[in-house]
Chains A and B, each alone.
Chain A
């Protein structure tokens, strides 16, 4: 038998969280093996931002109706529900047939995944908002879920660190519920957004404010990466590396240390574990191409496979000492699944600015921070929501020619000049989801994926608090737009199922006590302290903020702790 390769640390997953784990651990001197289930990514070859429409078979024609996207790839019926899974980015989303999961009849969950080096950090939405003590104290305050074992002061320096590295463009507001960071220059508002911001200020004072989105896209040159060129095609991969993704930042820096190796096509069904003790000794890898099983040894393991894939690995690690899976002894592993509600809000017309238009494609929108249950408790629901949105002018380009009569030379020449319509303003809520034990994942008793690994059964619905909150967000959106002076205001709720927001989190929560949580305050599995879970799985509550920046901060914090413990020989 060949001797197992020995590493200091194994990182399972190479996305937002795995990239940070690899960089931090390698830069602190550890020899790090990154195991990625999917294919390698070479930005020069795989990032398609530079490719004009005519280099694609269908030139995005099938993106006009998501139901048509099966023409790109009939094996992605779930992934194609995500806006970003378009013709230029479909290769970054998983094959749903190779990667199945199950849901109860009538309770859909759209699980959007990326299996490649870089994970979903290639096609993520890039919005970055810190959580605050309003969020870290929420469970303790209203009794839903267990208390977070950390507070804002524990994570604040790590937010500072990861934001300074990633480069977050945004505006400081001084709001306690949405702490500021070391932002790069804010991107500009549009005419109708600035108008709406001013209208809100008149109508609500400082209670409800509009700001430009805080986004991991460079508004100025930063850490050797050039500024955004405003082409608007981030999710297809950026040829200049101007938005944060692990391939062009953290993984690159990890490799630069000479102590890190990335092994693609490495499916990790379970970590390696000594049966008698809780000590994890490495990881067993199933080579996705050869189906050969290989074992790697390590002193610590960071599980960063994405929230539900990480929990799936823990659940699959059942043994005599851990019948419910690694971390399952408290009985909460797999439970308290959360996502954010989305696509419920309002839009309206804005008069004026007839001589103005936008120029360039801004990879960002506007943000309206949470105002519900910040100071005064709302009688009908707990927690709150923020809005994301944008204000653009209706512009009809050549596309208007399709439905209009006429053809020929004059018709062609008329289509050269766009027709400008009214300016619009639209905002949609992103709502917090209460931690509920019945929103959960478990192993499906029979189904396995292409590699023979048991798959998840996902059972989640929006419950009453979320439903009431969504309705409130619609009504408040309409009220604010009208208060600012919008006309033809209409509310909407697209009733998207859980999962599609792609903020799925929880199921291996952190907690102060091992009796009711999976992870301790340093993201260590209570039952196996040399295993760290630092991606979305660790979340104890969801807040309403886009969560990736929190995963980055928690990962960097946990990596620092891991090295401290290793140095002190406490692991």
Chain B
């Protein structure tokens, strides 16, 4: 893989410049490998950004006894909202937030966020969350809040979220205005 193509795939992420060429190529192999199975996107996020959103989303809502955010394709919902709905400044903040995930992962673990193991990814997200809550807005109006909102919204409105996670009964068939909680179906 050519360096230029790799940089394109990685979305021109600034931290790449700080990596040695062999490290860069090692990352590229993994990234290239992951691209193969990735369905097409809107093209708003670079493939690297898409992978980063998907990886971060999967740590926010991981697969447990039910599938997680990645299986529910939350990253594609996130891209749609960011691309079509966010104003330019907020889009930019979101991109910078993704870069920060790589930056922190590189600083703390010597890897891009998507290359880090789940423990390392959790540490990165915890640091991003802590920084957001330490800010004057107390967690609101931040990249972290955006990422989390879009991940949760995408997950709980997905088929997996509705059917498998919440078991939402979309057609209750009756109305009860004072049902004992203990007797309520899920």
Seen from chain A, the residues whose Cβ lies within 8 Å of a Cβ on chain B are: 52-54, 57-62, 68, 71, 187-191, 193-194, 229-231, 353, 355-362, 397-399, 401-403, 405, 407-409, 411-413, 416, 420
Binds A, one of B12-20, B32-40, B47-55, B170-178: B170-178
A-B contact pairs, 29 of them (CB 8 A): A52-B159, A52-B162, A53-B162, A58-B85, A60-B157, A61-B157, A71-B84, A187-B175, A188-B176, A229-B172, A230-B173, A230-B174, A231-B171, A358-B178, A360-B176, A398-B166, A401-B148, A401-B152, A402-B145, A402-B149, A402-B153, A403-B145, A405-B133, A407-B59, A407-B61, A407-B129, A411-B60, A411-B61, A416-B166
How far is A189 from B175 in the complex, measured between Cα atoms in Å? Answer: 9
Is A409's CB under 8 angstroms from B64's CB? yes
Is B152's CB under 8 angstroms from A398's CB? yes
Task: List the B side residues contacting A409 at CB < 8 Å.
Answer: 62, 64
How far is A58 from B84 in the complex, measured between Cα atoms in Å? Answer: 9
A350 vs chain B, min Cβ distance (A): 12
How far is A162 from B176 in the complex, measured between Cα atoms in Å? Answer: 28
User: A71-B85, A402-B149 given as contacts; is B172 within 8 A of A190 (CB)?
Assistant: no
Residue of A nearest to B138 (CB): A403
A/B pair count, beta carbons within 8 Å: 126
Task: List the B side residues contacting A357 at CB < 8 Å.
Answer: 179, 181, 184
User: A403-B139, A405-B129, A409-B64 given as contacts; is B176 within 8 A of A358 (CB)?
Assistant: yes
How far is A62 from B150 in the complex, measured between Cα atoms in Å? Answer: 12
How far is A78 from B82 in the complex, measured between Cα atoms in Å? Answer: 25
How far is A173 from B22 in the complex, measured between Cα atoms in Å? Answer: 83
User: A401-B152, A420-B181 given as contacts; is B175 within 8 A of A359 (CB)?
Assistant: yes
Task: List the B side residues contacting A356 at CB < 8 Å.
Answer: 178-181
B86 vs chain A, min Cβ distance (A): 10
Is A57's CB under 8 angstroms from B172's CB? no
A394 vs chain B, min Cβ distance (A): 14
Is A412's CB under 8 angstroms from B181's CB? no
Task: List the A side residues contacting B61 at CB < 8 Å.
Answer: 407, 411-412
Is A54's CB under 8 angstroms from B159's CB? yes
How far is A358 from B184 in the complex, measured between Cα atoms in Å? Answer: 9
Task: List the A side residues contacting B149 at CB < 8 Å.
Answer: 402
How far is A58 from B178 in the complex, measured between Cα atoms in Å? Answer: 33
Task: List the B side residues contacting A59 at CB < 8 Å.
Answer: 77, 153-154, 157
Task: List the B side residues contacting A407 at CB < 8 Å.
Answer: 59-61, 122, 125, 129, 148
Residue of A nearest to B122 (CB): A408
User: A54-B159, A407-B59, A413-B64 given as contacts; is B85 within 8 A of A194 (CB)?
Assistant: no
User: A230-B172, A398-B156 given as contacts; is B184 within 8 A of A359 (CB)?
Assistant: yes
User: A230-B173, A356-B180, A356-B181 given as contacts; is B165 within 8 A of A402 (CB)?
Assistant: no
Is A403's CB under 8 angstroms from B140's CB? yes
How far is A353 from B180 in the complex, measured between Cα atoms in Å? Answer: 9
The answer, among B64, B139, B145, for a CB contact under 8 Å with A412, is B64
Is B81's CB under 8 angstroms from A359's CB? no
A358 vs chain B, min Cβ distance (A): 5
- From A60, A189, A359, residue with most partner B Cβ within 10 Å: A359
Q: How many chain B residues have a CB neighbour from A under 8 Å?
A: 46
Residue of A nearest to B180 (CB): A355
How far is A23 from B34 in the complex, measured between Cα atoms in Å? Answer: 62
What 1/0 flags go to B53-96 for Cβ under 8 Å of A?
00000011110100010000000010011001100000000000
Task: List the A side residues contacting B84 at CB < 8 Å.
Answer: 58, 71
Residue of A nearest to B60 (CB): A407
How far is A408 from B161 in the complex, measured between Cα atoms in Å? Answer: 15
Task: List the A side residues contacting B59 at CB < 8 Å.
Answer: 407-408
B156 vs chain A, min Cβ distance (A): 5
Is B175's CB under 8 angstroms from A52's CB? no
Is A229's CB under 8 angstroms from B171's CB? yes
Is B178's CB under 8 angstroms from A54's CB? no
Task: List the B side residues contacting A403 at CB < 8 Å.
Answer: 139-140, 145
User: A58-B80, A355-B182, A359-B184 given as contacts; is B175 within 8 A of A408 (CB)?
Assistant: no
Q: Which 4 pairs, one residue from A and one from B, show the smallest C-beta to C-beta distance?
A: A190-B177, A360-B172, A360-B175, A191-B178
- From B122, B125, B161, B175, residue with most partner A Cβ within 10 Å: B175
B31 at the binding interface (Cβ < 8 Å):
no
A411 vs chain B, min Cβ distance (A): 8
A86 vs chain B, min Cβ distance (A): 14
Task: List the B side residues contacting A52 at CB < 8 Å.
Answer: 159, 162, 170
User: A355-B182, A398-B156 given as contacts; is B139 within 8 A of A405 (CB)?
Assistant: yes
The answer, among B60, B77, B184, for a CB contact under 8 Å with A408, is B60
User: A407-B125, A412-B62 given as contacts; is B172 within 8 A of A361 (CB)?
Assistant: yes
How far is A194 from B177 in the complex, measured between Cα atoms in Å? Answer: 9
The answer, among A191, A355, A399, for a CB contact under 8 Å with B177, is A191
User: A54-B157, A68-B85, A407-B125 given as contacts; is B178 within 8 A of A190 (CB)?
Assistant: yes
A67 vs chain B, min Cβ distance (A): 11
Residue of B nearest to A195 (CB): B178
Residue of A nearest to B146 (CB): A402
How far is A361 from B68 in the complex, measured between Cα atoms in Å? Answer: 28
How far is A397 from B168 in the complex, measured between Cα atoms in Å? Answer: 12
Task: List the B side residues contacting A353 at CB < 8 Å.
Answer: 178
Residue of B nearest to A413 (CB): B64
- From B59, B80, B165, B171, residue with most partner A Cβ within 10 Å: B171
- From B64, B139, B176, residue with most partner A Cβ within 10 Å: B176
Is B80's CB under 8 angstroms from A194's CB? no
B158 at the binding interface (Cβ < 8 Å):
yes
Beyond A62-B85, A359-B185, A398-B161, 5 extra complex contacts between A and B, CB < 8 Å: A189-B177, A355-B181, A358-B178, A409-B64, A411-B60
A353 vs chain B, min Cβ distance (A): 7
Is A231's CB under 8 angstroms from B80's CB? no
Residue of A nearest to B56 (CB): A407
Is A359's CB under 8 angstroms from B157's CB? no
The answer, among A189, A360, A402, A413, for a CB contact under 8 Å with B152, is A402
Residue of A nearest to B183 (CB): A359
How far is A64 from B43 in the complex, measured between Cα atoms in Å? Answer: 26
The answer, among A68, A188, A401, A402, for a CB contact under 8 Å with B175, is A188
Task: List the B side residues contacting A399 at CB < 8 Å.
Answer: 152
Residue of B nearest to A406 (CB): B129
- From A59, A187, A191, A353, residue with most partner B Cβ within 10 Å: A59
